[in-house]
Structure 1
Amino acid sequence: MRGLEDKTVLVTGSGRGIGRSIARRLAEEGATVAVNDIDEANARETADIIADEGGDSLTAIADVTDFEAMQTTVRDIAEAEGLDVIVNNAGWDRIEWFLDQDPDVWDDLIDLNLKGQMNGSRAAAEHFVETGTSGTIINISSDAARVGSSGEAVYAGAKGGVISFTKTLARELARNDVNCNVVAPGPADTPLTREMRETDLGEKILGGMTGQVPLGRMAEPEDIAGAVAFFASEDASFVTGQVLSVSGGLTMTD
């Protein structure tokens, strides 16, 4: 166990996929998990799974692209349970060539993948600073941000912004004893990835990645959850401003 028994963690976008695995892992480690999703049915399903596994959770339905909604969500969780950690996981992608992509899609990608994480980070940071809580902010980026990825230009750009944003936030909030780190998954076997592989371009790009991974497979959501559990724990109390790649060795850049 990683000593999360007395902590409350908000995990955005935890109604399915990687977010659900993160929520389950943190609950297994003893945390009370606030399951956030824009889809209430998905959030309740995750909460039910956690309950069946003997964990504690509550649902927190909110759109992460709405800053005021995130402020309200953080305030409500803090008043009910306290808040020690936020995992800004909610995200979305679409595989398309940049020159073919509708600019309206750019706005959706940036709003959810970058601004959504900024909204969650700001709302949580306000709580941590105002209450003097030694909090933790964990943002989920992507290895596409570190090395680029064909068919994901705007997504990679938004996720690159997450890395730069988090590093800067780590510097600003260090004086308040708030740690800020990034987990950068490689290609993972999730419902979203399977949906993207239904297109010819998506299958061409994502289907060819598995053979390039030194460890021989795509990441499972549980692989990413383990990295998040580390950053959420006291084991990472002297770690801030860092990016942890979980890609099976697909990317090995500095």
Structure 2
Amino acid sequence: MERFAGQTVIVTGAAHGFGRAIAHAFAWEGANVWACDVNTEGLGETARLVYHDGLTVHTRAVDVGDAAAVGAFVSEVVAETGRIDVLVNNAGGVRGQVGRPIEEISPADWQAIFAVNVDGAFFFAQAVAPQMKERRSGRIINISSGAGLGISLTGIQAYASAKAAQIGLTRQLAHELGAWGITVNNVAPGFVRSNPTTERQWDSYGEEGQRKLIDAIALKRLGTPEDIANAVLFFASEGAGWITGQVLSVDGGK
């Protein structure tokens, strides 16, 4: 069943992990997918994997923290397709940083994490809003983290703060845009081995730490990128038409 046939979907941060799985899932369900990232090599691999299944995804190199670049990309998508039905703000992460004492965090380090996790979500929502308002329909799904609801396992202050801010943005935009039939929701993943950063994090725990992490999960297993993609597709579906401003923890149960 192609639930999203004829719909145009933008997925940010699609070079690997959640973004790749989300882009692939929407393509499989018939959507016209436009995927972006700054990691062009990974983005190319996403395209190859999608094409391997006989599907199509359009890819572009876009820095989500650059408002002008975001606007240009969204304008291109609208010019080509005439519509944007779904925006998935997945781009994020820790930008190569590790946990350090607060005294050691520079303004540049702090801002770098906010730029990709919060600014990018804001710039993309701002860019797609006029077209969605005109059509009086749209879905915006932000990908946060369990860190935004609690604390960061890595101890990165900016990451926990940025994800919490993104959740606040989700709720605010839901109320602002709801009058035009636009829903805005948030998926908060638990720990998933989905990219090089999470692989390094997993390895750093050692066998005992890995066992403790899994034992703390109700379902006693780690999640997969596909688990996150399934939640995103639900929020984008007709079945979620009266759900907005919500945060769905996809973490195996805590």
TM, length-normalised to structure 2: 0.90
Q: Compared with structure 1, are the counterparts of its residues 43 and 80 closer, same or farther at alpha carbon in structure 2 (3 Å cutoff)?
A: same
Q: Hey, what does 1:134 align to over in structure 2?
A: 137
Q: Where does structure 1 differ by over 6 angstroms across 4 or more consecutive aligned residues?
A: none
Q: What amino acid sits opposite 2:191 in the alignment?
A: P
| CA distances 1:91-114 after superposition (whole Å, capped 9, x unpaired) | 112440342642232111111111
| CA distances 1:11-60 after superposition (whole Å, capped 9, x unpaired) | 00001111101111111111111111112222222122112212222112
- 2:195 equivalent to 1:194: no
Residues of 2 paired with 1:197 and 1:29: CA distance? 32
Q: Hey, what does 2:24 align to over in structure 1?
A: 24
Residues of 2 paired with 1:204 and 1:96: CA distance? 20
In the TM superposition, what is the alpha-carbon distance from 1:166 to its structure 2 partner?
0.7
Q: Would the aligned equivalents of 2:189 and 2:228 in 1 still touch at CA under 8 Å?
A: yes
Residues of 2 paired with 1:13 and 1:37: CA distance? 5
| CA distances 1:190-222 after superposition (whole Å, capped 9, x unpaired) | 122013345x5x669973422211111221111
Residues of 2 paired with 1:123 and 1:204: CA distance? 45
Residues of 1 paired with 2:169 and 2:62: CA distance? 22
Q: Compared with structure 1, are the counterparts of its residues 122 and 216 closer, same or farther at alpha carbon in structure 2 (3 Å cutoff)?
A: same
Q: Compared with structure 1, are the counterparts of its residues 182 and 204 closer, same or farther at alpha carbon in structure 2 (3 Å cutoff)?
A: farther
TM, length-normalised to structure 1: 0.90
Identity %: 36
Q: What amino acid sits opposite 1:196 in the alignment?
A: Q
1:224 aligned to 215, 228, 244, which one?
A: 228
Unaligned runs of at least 5 residues, structure 1: none
Residues of 2 paired with 1:203 and 1:100: CA distance? 28
Q: Would the aligned equivalents of 2:70 and 2:127 in 1 still touch at CA under 8 Å?
A: yes
Residues of 2 paired with 1:25 and 1:183: CA distance? 16
Q: Hey, what does 2:70 align to over in structure 1?
A: 70
| CA distances 1:106-152 after superposition (whole Å, capped 9, x unpaired) | 111111111111111111113322x3241111000111111223413
In the TM superposition, what is the alpha-carbon distance from 1:71 to its structure 2 partner?
0.8
Q: What amino acid sits opposite 1:44 in the alignment?
A: G
Unaligned runs of at least 5 residues, structure 2: none
